[in-house]
Structure 1
């Protein structure tokens, strides 16, 4: 047997050992998978609503109101925030009476009991209606008072039309002639708002030619030649 045959036999043996090792490793992996149970399926991703089935955000999950009238405005008690409105005790008591009357009406067995339950329910509904009507009247009264205040302000402004127009005209003429107040007459710091107002020129279309950079005024740079970059640049 020559040398080439010996080398070929050795290579075949090595390949056989390698494939046997791979098969053994794959078999062990399959056993470990079977022992741990089936591979869990991927959780499907919920797709967003599309088309007519898309929900309307903000719609309460409750029955629609009995009528198109807006709900009554409940007065806010002292100590509660504007976001947390308390329910008055009279509204709670009326609701309790209505609930009790409805329960008595369903549990009534004789005609007399039904008639009495109907009378109690009618009285409870009437009291609830009166309370709701008073709340709506208060709401209308508040709106009327606000409209009256706005109307008074509108009448006052209408009467002062000539004065307002002349004043604004004089201010605009002064601005055009370079006689406007510093920062604009309507932007004087502290006039309407205590917050400081950023600096702006009295007229954005004009340039103050007398302004000079603060570097020329600084005492420590008075001896420097500003025309020479090496004098002003510490790294030059």
Structure 2
């Protein structure tokens, strides 16, 4: 009976850790995907056009890139609380609230990096397309294709910020076991409880995920470099 109990405890712990990792990946990937789509739709036209308040907007996004996660969590908490404008949707302490918080957190990062890294190349590409009779959609697609490495770098940076974030998600998610608990909130909880072994396990998984993503990024860049060489 003792061996069976130990086995069931280990199986339960394994299932819990798996659920935590999957929840983390789902929330962070979804938030990064939403932020990336918005950043591309807005960022590319922003990069190739000149207007009066362009530099002011960039200064604002520069500031938002370093906004404390707990402050963003507070903003989303106020929006989704019962007295907030979105309170009737009952989204607080759900994965949806966590996705919203992370999306708002990484959107300025991805947008800012895309604009600053591609704006010079994008203007040249736009002029070339116009000379060849290209339409607006053709310009958009060609810019994405030619600036793929820069865009991937911006998206990866945003994802890294999202998956390593703890302050905002614990405020709007509540760190509910089996529902809104993610890797970073699990590490914080288990460390406070003195369970350093469990915290280290999840920490190693988090590092491996980050390493895998950066490895994939370098492989994609290396492949593109080889294509240009040959």
When normalised by structure 1's length, the TM-score is 0.25
Structure (1 or 2) with the larger CA radius of gyration: 1
Q: Of Structure 1 and Structure 2, which has the larger fraction of its residues in helix?
A: 2
Query: RCO greater where, 1 or 2, for CA within 8 Å and sep 6 or more?
Result: 2
